[in-house]
């Protein structure tokens, strides 16, 4: 892809992106980075995604972005890039292919498909948190107006069998609070983990009667661990009984929680703080009330993982006025 050749450019010590660009009116429409220090920096390196205002004209390269789609694995996000390319009929510039823009950062994979970015975020809050800071700054530097962020993920269902979709209404941390908490300068910083309820409803309504899954809107518990942090009995260590586990999951279910994953609180908190509309669309890999081990077949999981992609693709096509 054209982007690739620009990305390999050596540093030329001049800021290529118009860092403070735009009129006051235009600035109001843009992403809120809420960091006064950024304005004073001559250049900004987005280290983990291998981009920077010093190296590229980020507005020229990314100014047309409307949708940022994130998911855990590079393979899933590459697959989504190719899927959405076909769905929206995107034709890469002559002689180019879909390249991993962030390959040389060796952390995340990112593919640009016209107005869509498809990016892998790794596992857990710290990994997606670093990416979110850099993606939000990328939107800011590129002067993108009103982008929509999606997390296209997998999760454990609570009272929901494998293969169904849960769209997050509210994200809760491991203590059951709707916040993302982070120690900052030795003190607790807390931000509300809010998601866009209209967007969630729009996505749910795109489920078709013939789809082989149900879509539920519910609260999501965001754990900092896959095993003990999610009340599993099959980790290397466990100091609670099966009855304790079921009591905990039943309590969550009574509180409206329908799934557990590992990124929701920071995804909700940072997008909300930036004024970005966002949704989390996850497929359940199992019903945690019935077990802990993920023993569906690889083929089954691949098909299930494509389901949130289909829903998000329908939304993107509608927004781009492309027929389904």
Ligand X SMILES: O=c1cc[nH]c(=O)[nH]1
Which residues are at the interface with ligand X (CB under 6 A)?
A: 154-156, 226, 230, 260-262, 285
Locate 278 and state its tokens.
């966002």
Q: How far is the CB of 261 from ligand X (least distance, A)?
A: 4
Query: What is the rounded CA–CA span in Å between residue 18 and residue 295?
Result: 50
The rounded radius of gyration (Å) of the Cα atoms in the chain is 20
232 is in an annotated binding site: yes
On whether the CB atoms of residues 305 and 154 are closer than 8 A, the answer is: yes
Contacted entry of ligand X, ligand LQZ7MJT6, none for residue 230, CB cut-off 5 to 8 Å set by kind: ligand X
DSSP lists the bridge partners of residue 171 as 220
Contacted entry of ligand LQZ7MJT6, ligand X, none for residue 72, CB cut-off 5 to 8 Å set by kind: ligand LQZ7MJT6
283-301 residues labelled b (16+ CB within 10 A) or e (exposed): bbbbbbbeebeeeeeeeeb
Query: What is the rounded CA–CA span in Å between residue 33 and residue 52?
Result: 16
On whether the CB atoms of residues 200 and 282 are closer than 8 A, the answer is: no
- Quote the DSSP letter at residue 174: T
101 is in an annotated binding site: no
Contacted entry of ligand LQZ7MJT6, ligand X, none for residue 156, CB cut-off 5 to 8 Å set by kind: ligand X
Of the pair 71, 159, the CB lying nearest ligand LQZ7MJT6 is at: 71
Q: How far is the CB of 223 from ligand LQZ7MJT6 (least distance, A)?
A: 8
Locate 125 and state its tokens.
């809050």
Contacted entry of ligand X, ligand LQZ7MJT6, none for residue 15, CB cut-off 5 to 8 Å set by kind: none
230 is in an annotated binding site: yes
Instruction: List the binding residues.
Output: 107, 151-154, 230, 232
Instruction: List the binding residues for phosphate.
Output: 107, 151-154
Residues that bind ligand LQZ7MJT6 (CB under 6 A): 71-72, 123-124, 153-154, 226, 261-263
């Amino acid at each position: 892809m054209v982007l690739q050749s620009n990305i390999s450019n050596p540093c030329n010590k001049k800021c290529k992106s118009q860092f403070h660009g735009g009129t006051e009116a235009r600035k109001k429409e843009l992403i809120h980075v809420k960091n006064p220090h950024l304005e004073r920096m001559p250049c900004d390196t987005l280290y983990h995604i291998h981009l920077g205002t010093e190296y590229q004209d980020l507005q020229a390269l990314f100014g047309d972005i409307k949708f940022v789609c994130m998911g855990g694995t590079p393979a899933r996000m590459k697959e989504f890039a190719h899927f959405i390319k076909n769905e929206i009929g995107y034709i890469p510039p002559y002689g180019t292919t879909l390249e991993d823009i962030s390959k040389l950062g060796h952390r995340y994979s990112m593919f640009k498909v016209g107005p869509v970015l498809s990016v892998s975020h790794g596992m857990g809050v710290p990994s997606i948190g670093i990416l979110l800071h850099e993606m939000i700054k990328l939107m800011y530097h590129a002067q993108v107006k009103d982008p929509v962020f999606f997390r296209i993920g997998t999760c454990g269902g609570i009272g929901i069998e494998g293969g169904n979709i849960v769209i997050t209404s509210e994200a809760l941390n491991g203590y059951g609070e709707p916040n993302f908490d982070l120690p900052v300068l030795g003190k607790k910083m807390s931000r509300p983990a809010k998601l866009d309820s209209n967007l969630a409803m729009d996505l749910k309504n795109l489920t078709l009667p013939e789809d082989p899954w149900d879509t539920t809107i519910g609260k999501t518990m965001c754990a900092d661990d896959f095993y003990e942090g999610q009340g599993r009995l099959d980790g290397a260590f466990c100091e609670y009984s099966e009855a304790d586990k079921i009591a905990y999951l039943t309590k969550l279910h009574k509180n409206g929680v329908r799934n557990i994953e590992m990124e929701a609180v920071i995804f909700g908190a940072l997008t909300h703080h930036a004024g970005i509309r966002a949704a989390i669309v996850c497929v359940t890999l199992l019903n945690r009330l019935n077990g802990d081990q993920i023993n569906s077949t690889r083929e089954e999981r691949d098909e299930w993982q494509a389901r949130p992609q289909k829903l998000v693709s329908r939304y993107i096509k509608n927004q781009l006025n492309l027929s389904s």
